[in-house]
Amino acid sequence: RETMPDNFIDDIIRKDLETGWCTTVHTRFPPEPNGYLHIGHAKSIVLNFSLAEKYGGTCNLRFDDTNPEKETEEYVRAIMEDVRWLGFDWGDRLYFASDYFDRMYELAVRLIKEGKAYVDHSTPEEISRMRGVPTEPGIPSPYRDRSVEENLELFEKMRRGEFEEGECVLRAKIDMSSPNMHLRDPVMYRIRKVSHYRQGDRWCIYPTYDWAHGLEDAFEGITHSICTLEFEVHRPLYDWFLDQIPDLPHPKQIEFARLNLTHTVMSKRLLTQLVQEGHVDGWDDPRLPTIAGLRRRGFTPSSIRTFCYRIGVSKVESVVDMAFLEAVIREELNKTAPRRMAVLEPVKLVITNYPEDQVEWLEAENNPEDPSAGTRLIPFCRELYIEREDFMEDPPPKYYRLAPGREVRLKHAYIIRCEEVVKDEAGNIVEIRCTYDPETRSGGRRSDRKVKATLHWVSARHGFRAQVRLYDRLFTKEDPTDVEEGKTFLDYINPDSLVILEDAVLEPSLEHVEAGENYQFLRKGYFCLDSKYSTPERLVFNRTVTLKDEWER
């Protein structure tokens, strides 16, 4: 199977293998279970698992669950499901950072004993004030030079819950005048009297990312710890902590540019807000860039992997156009999706010269891009539905579809001619009356007669009603986090991002489709069954993408 194309990380790893810095490659994907995975995470998953695959190594799935506040078992389950669905297998290498809390605590005690960490009673504001600004040395905390004995005792008390939240923290004693602010005595532990979803109330002190993450990597024997660019400035700290513990392996941190996409948000904080405040229909809303949302929308695992291979990995921040993600799934489904006919906004069409009781089962190819996909039979009779927009009583120039007196072809069937329009009292068109030319059946003797349009249709006697959901970008603004004065990102939600059509009519073969299958509805785009709202009595379909990029305008 394909892997991530070679990039600067491959150069580093090949060199590390050549020089013997490492003999195997061991990566990890380390999500925090405080939300669902999104397409940005997919990039990291594909990258980490690809590297392991390319160099015959292994990749861990590690839950970086060191913050008790927002982490839940539900997120753990959802993340595992999504990684598996994307096609990656961590085998027996499933880890939880919270399982290391005892070891981390012991190592913190060791640093205290070596005079490299201290308990600080300053408030967060005082700590930040004393850190100062990068261009000038900071001010050492008045607690910085406490004795080892006192620090050991205070840290033990912190662990036993004898201090309140915010009363004190454990800090590493590094360098209060470093130009890198992260080295100005970073916090290692803070007090949080909150239950942890796995550890319960065993702990009331929790390690910070900087202290915990390198240890997690080292405990697991990770060789290359890949993270996003914002951690580049943390790297000296990652290395400092591991340098203090020479008996542990020392993984190499490598940073790459995160994936940014237009017309959406990918910060977990903002995604959580959209979900919790009900702006969207849960984490799997098909408009979200979450893996669960993309799955419900009809994206396939291979399309997401292909997207990740194509955007590439680099050190330079960039923003990928949403249209590119859509182009990738469109290209895949064009090759693989069986074609079907569905009329989304129907109007009745009667063929007056077609025998009343006759039904013909016409053969239709399933996929012109793939002859091996075979054919199916679709019923044709006197009463059909066509798309309301495919008929105009007074067509403007360049409108070539059906109009009074005009001929069009019905796909896989006959050429018809519009003879008459029936309206209700309000003047709405309720029926289009046509005649057909029996000689023009597709594949028949006079099937090559030229007309300017071919329409899709569904037999009114055989088709079934379904709900169809059309999606558009969730935000009208390319970067909804770039907010104008007095607004929030919520002000840029696209009010037309979901359109629900209640009366679509679908060809009968669509009655037995399953979630996870993709179909092209001729002329209308790619669709799949909605896994959330479909019932056997009423099927609901989601449009994955249109046939063409409608944003090119």
Q: Is 16 annotated among the ligand-binding residues? A: no
Q: Is 209 annotated among the ligand-binding residues? A: yes
Contact predicate 97/63, CB 8 Å: yes
Q: Is 31 in the site for ligand ATP (CB under 6 A)?
A: yes
| 44 or 58: CB nearest Mg ion | 44
Secondary structure in 3-state letters for 63-93: ECCCCCCCCCHHHHHHHHHHHHHCCCCCCCC
| 30 or 207: CB nearest ligand ATP | 30
Which positions ≥6 away from 188 have C-beta within 8 Å?
Answer: 108, 111, 117, 169, 170, 171, 172, 207, 208, 210, 211
Q: Say which of 258, 388, 411, 417 is annotated catalytic.
A: 258
CB of 117 to ligand ATP, least distance (A): 25
Q: Is 258 labeled as catalytic in the residue annotation?
A: yes
Whole-Å CA distances, 111 to 114, 243, 526: 5, 11, 58
Could you tell which of Mg ion, ligand ATP, none binds residue 474, using a CB distance below 5 to 8 A set by kind? none
| 10 or 32: CB nearest Mg ion | 32
Contact predicate 79/36, CB 8 Å: yes
Contact with ligand ATP (CB under 6 A) among 83, 154, 266, 418: 266
Q: Is 291 in the site for ligand ATP (CB under 6 A)?
A: no
- Please state, as a whole number, how many other Cβ atoms lie within 10 Å of the Cβ of residue 352: 11
> How far is 174 from 180, CA to CA, in rounded Å?
11
Residue nearest ligand ATP (C-beta atom) = 40
Q: Is 153 helix (H, G, I), strand (E, B) or coil?
A: helix
Binding mask 11-40 for Mg ion (x = CB under 5 A): ---------------------x--------
Could you tell which of ligand ATP, Mg ion, none binds residue 43, using a CB distance below 5 to 8 A set by kind? ligand ATP
Q: Is 487 labeled as catalytic in the residue annotation?
A: no
Contact with ligand ATP (CB under 6 A) among 147, 267, 375, 488: 267
Phi, psi of 334 (to 5 degrees): -60, -35
Q: Is 229 annotated among the ligand-binding residues? A: no
Short-list 33, 263, 472, CA closest to 41: 33
Binding mask 62-81 for ligand ATP (x = CB under 6 A): --x-----------------
CB of 234 to ligand ATP, least distance (A): 12
| 96 or 527: CB nearest ligand ATP | 96
Element containing residue 432 per DSSP (H, E): strand 429-437
Q: Is 32 in the site for ligand ATP (CB under 6 A)?
A: yes
What angle do the packed helices 209-219 and 235-243 form, to 10 degrees? 60
What's at 279, amino acid-wise? H
- Among 240-248, 258-266, 471-479, 493-501, the segment contacting ligand ATP (CB under 6 A): 258-266
End-to-end, the C-alpha distance of the chain in Å comes to: 36
| 75 or 391: CB nearest ligand ATP | 75
| 99 or 360: CB nearest ligand ATP | 99
Element containing residue 365 per DSSP (H, E): strand 360-365
Q: CA 52, 53, 58, 59 torsion: positive or negative?
A: positive
Q: Is 30 in the site for ligand ATP (CB under 6 A)?
A: yes
- Chain residues that interact with Mg ion, rule: CB under 5 A: 32
Binding-site annotation: residue ranges for ATP: 32-34, 38-44, 228, 258-259, 266-268
Binding-site annotation: residue ranges: 32-34, 38-44, 64, 209, 228, 258-259, 266-268
Q: Report, as residue numbers or ranges, the catalytic residues.
A: 32, 258, 268
- Chain residues that interact with ligand ATP, rule: CB under 6 A: 30-32, 40-41, 43-44, 64, 227-228, 258-259, 266-268
